[in-house]
Structure formats: C-alpha cells, structure tokens
Amino acid sequence: MAIKETLDRIREEALSAIKAADAESAIEDLRVRYLGKKGELTAILKQMGTLPAEERPLMGQLSNDVRKDIEALIAERSSELRQKAQELRFRAEALDVTLPGTDPHIGSRHPLETVLDDIKEIFLGMGFNVAEGPEVEFDHYCFEMLNMPKHHPARDTQDTFYINDNVLLRTQTSSVQIRTMLAQKPPIRIISPGRVYRVDTVDATHSPIFHQIEGLVVDKGITMADLKGTLAEFIRKLYGADIKVRFRPHHFPYTEPSAEMDMECFRCHGEGCSLCKGEGYIEILGCGMVRPEVLEGCGIDSSVYSGFAFGVGADRITMMRYGINDLRVLFENDMRFLQQL
C-alpha cells in the first residue's frame, strides 16, 4: 500500500503547507508542486499502472479525493489571502473624509435672474408666453395708450427719465402689453419681464433701475375671479401651497377694478413681525381688469373681450427670498455675495 501511504502523506504535507502559506505566490508554488504537470500527485498517478487492476479504481478514487482536498484548500486559502491583501490595501488607501472636496469650479446665475427664471417657468406652465420689448420706449406706448395722457396725475408715481418729449426710458413693462395687443389678436396670455427705469435715488430700497414682470390676459369672458385665481396660484407656486393672499382695492389708470395683492407674511404667517412691519401681510403685486379704453386703443373690441393685467417687482421678490436687506447689494456684484446664492 505504498501508493496509498504516499497519497496520504502528500495530502497531509500539502494541506499543512497550504495552511501555512501567507502569500498568494506561495500558494501558487504549492499548487504547481502538488497539482502541476510535474507535481507530486501527477507523479503518483503515473505509478497507477503498476497497481493490480482491482486496486486501481480505489487508488484512483483516493488520488482524486486528495486532489480535490488540495484544490479546495487552495481555493479557500487564496480567497482568505486575497481578502487579507485587499483589507491591507484598503487600510493603506483610506482617505480622510473630513478633508474638503475638490471645487468643481461652477459659477452661478445672478439671484435676480434665478428668480426671473422661476417666475417665467411658473407662468409658462400656466400658458403665458414671454414677450419682450424695448427699454427705450415711446411715451405713447408707455403712458398715453395706457390711459395716462401727458398731464395725468398718476405719472407722478412714475417719475420718468426722458430722452425727448416723445421718447423715454420705460417706467413699466406695460408698454410691452400695448405692443403685444397691437401685434396680436386675442386670446393673449403673456408676461413681459424686463428692466424698467424711474427717477429714484439709490438707497436700501430704491434704485433708478429695477426689474418687473408684468402680465396680460385678454380673451372672451375673462373675469376678475380669473385674475384672483391666476395670481393666487402664481404666489402659491412661488411660495408654497399654504400661503394666503388677499386683494385690496387700489388704482392704476389702465385697469379697473384695480387691486393690490398682499400675501401673508411668510416669516410670521400673519402674526405680524419686523419683515411685514407688523401688518401680517406683504404687498406683492398690483393688478386689475384692463380698462376698455386701453383695449379699444389697441383695436380690441371691449364688448367682446375682457382681460386682466398685473405687475410684480422681481427685485423685491429676490430680496425677500434670499433675505437681502439692501437693494444695492444686487447691483454691486461682490463675489462674496454671488458665491453665497
């Protein structure tokens, strides 16, 4: 039974050598030594021919078992070692996760543009196209066709920069509404965002240049209830579904009825705080039903069509959104400001 003894010995030797091996390369050496073409087990198999025929299957079986045992242990041990090596590598590669990430070097949009974009998106979703028009504008479009002839007292509230008697820097983007109504038949649903100019000295809340978004709807059967529903929806989309609004009578020469919309102070929710000056509400926009004279002036039959118009100050909304307490900051463009928002 020399072969059997030899096989047992090989198994014993191999298994203890594999167990002792501490590197994958050592395992490989052992695999070659025992299982390789010139390995010990192969050498034994070559002696099988010398065995009596009845012993051969038994020895064959035994040598297979030995091979399997060795293979199994090699697989197990090398997996262990790989695992161990990997653990070591991971330990060596470990990073200080508290170190800062790499700056992706991305700039930012100006907060005013972000707000304008948000507002545009809300109105696009409600079917309003975005209309644009010139900033240097005819008096005719900015005032006269909006029911504010040359000596109208309401012009006092919009102190104007003039180029000459007929040309001025628009004080409101309502001029775009006039241009749209002259160019397009109802139904009309537009907003007109843009720069407007008024003679106002610069301070924390005033600027000779600011940004407005005005809107106009003209169609058959447009009601004041539509105005209220649309604008309340706009504010809910901008500030959240639970924001309450209220409408107060006001006066604009080109709308009647006219209103100002207040929204419940988003900071104190109506309790009254420093932001809303104790009122619980913040004035947010002006609006109203377009006066028939304005429609007729643009060639729209006011007995068939009605509409509403509104105007929002984007600068104020930007200031409120980001908690900016000084309008000048928006136009100073300090990097440390731009990087914050």
Partner 1 sequence: MNAPVSWIKEYTDLEGISVKELCDALTMSGSKVERWTCEADEIKNVVVGEVLEMHRHPDSDHLWVCSVNCGGDKPIQIVTGAQNVSTGDKVPCALDGALLPGGKTISSGKLRGEVSDGMMCSLGELGLTVHDFPDCIEDGIAILDPSAEPGSDVCGVLGLDDTSIEFEITSNRPDCMCVSGLGREAAATFRKPFRFPEPQIRHASGSIEGMLSVKNETPENCLRYTAAIVKNVRVKPSPMWMRQRLRLCGVRPINNIVDITNYVMLEYNQPMHAFDYRNVKDSEIIIRQAREGEHIVTLDDIDRELTPDMMVIADSEKPIAVAGIMGGEYSGTYDDTNTVIFESACFNAVNVRYTEKGLGMKTESSVRFEKGLDPENTLRALTRALELVEELDAGDVVSGFVDIKGNIPERRTLLLEPEKINAFLGTDLPAEEMVSILRSLEFEVSDDMTVTPPSFRADILLMNDIAEEIARFYGYNNVPSTVMTGVATAQLTERQHFEKDLAMRLVSAGLYEVKTYSFMGTRTLDLLNEPSDGELRNAVVISNPFGDDTALMRTTLLPSMLEVVSRNVNARVASGSFFEIGVTFHAHEDTNELPDELKDLVIASYNSLGFYGVKGIVEDICRNANTETPVFTALTDSHLYHPGRAASVYVGDTLIGTMGELLPSVAANFNIKEKVTAAVISVEKLFAVRGGVRRFTPLPKFPAMTRDLAIVCDISVPSGAIEREIRIACSDILESISVFDVYTGDKVPAGKKSIAYSLVLRHKDRTMTDDEADTAIARSLKRLERIGASLRS
Q: Interaction with partner 1 in 248-277: which residues (CB under 8 A)? A: 248-251, 253, 256-259
Cβ 280 to partner 1 shortest distance, Å: 10
Q: Residue 34 or 210: which CB sits closer to partner 1?
A: 210
The residue whose two tokens read 């050496």 is 29
Closest contact distance (angstroms) between CB of 45 and partner 1 is 47
Residues 6+ apart with CB under 8 A from 65: none
In b/e form, how buried is each residue of 138-173, taking b as 16+ CB within 10 angstroms?
Answer: bbebbbbbbbbeeeeeebeebebeeeeeeebbbbbb
Considering only the stretches 14-22, 32-40, 81-89, 163-171, report the one whose residues sit in contact with partner 1 under the rule CB under 8 A. 163-171
Residue 53 within binding range of partner 1, rule CB under 8 A: no
Binding flag, residue 138, partner 1 (CB under 8 A): yes
Nearer to partner 1 by Cβ, of 6 and 114: the residue is 114
Binds partner 1 by CB under 8 A, chosen from 176, 222, 284, 300? 222
Residue whose structure tokens are 């002259």: 182
CB of 93 or CB of 334, closer to partner 1: 334
DSSP string, 191-210: EEEEEEE-----SSS--SEE
- Residues 140-159 close enough to bind partner 1 by CB under 8 A: 151-154, 156-157
162: DSSP letter: B
Report if residue 335 touches partner 1, rule: CB under 8 A.
yes
Type of residue numbered 161: F
| Position 199 contacts partner 1 (CB under 8 A) | yes
Q: Which of residues 165-194 bind partner 1 (CB under 8 A)?
A: 166-167, 169, 187, 189
Q: How many CB atoms lie within 10 A of CB 178?
A: 24
Among 18, 230, 305, 324, binds partner 1 (CB under 8 A): 230
- Asked whether position 206 contacts partner 1 by CB under 8 A, the answer is no
Q: Which residues of 258-280 are buried (b: 16+ CB within 10 A; e: fewer)?
A: bbbbbbbbbeeeeeeeeebeeeb
Residue 260, classed as helix, strand or coil, is strand
Binding of partner 1 by 135 (CB under 8 A) = yes
# residues near partner 1 by CB under 8 A: 82
Pick the binder of partner 1 from 10, 15, 40, 137 (CB under 8 A). Answer: 137
User: How many Å is the Cα radius of gyration of the chain?
Assistant: 42
Q: Is 113 an interacting residue with respect to partner 1 (CB under 8 A)?
A: yes
Distance in Å, CB of 242 to partner 1, minimum: 15
Examine residue 331 and tell whether it contacts partner 1 (CB under 8 A): yes
Residue choice 297, 306, 309, 324 for contact with partner 1 (CB under 8 A)? 306
Exposed, middle or buried, 233 (CB in 10 Å: 0-12/13-18/19+)?
middle
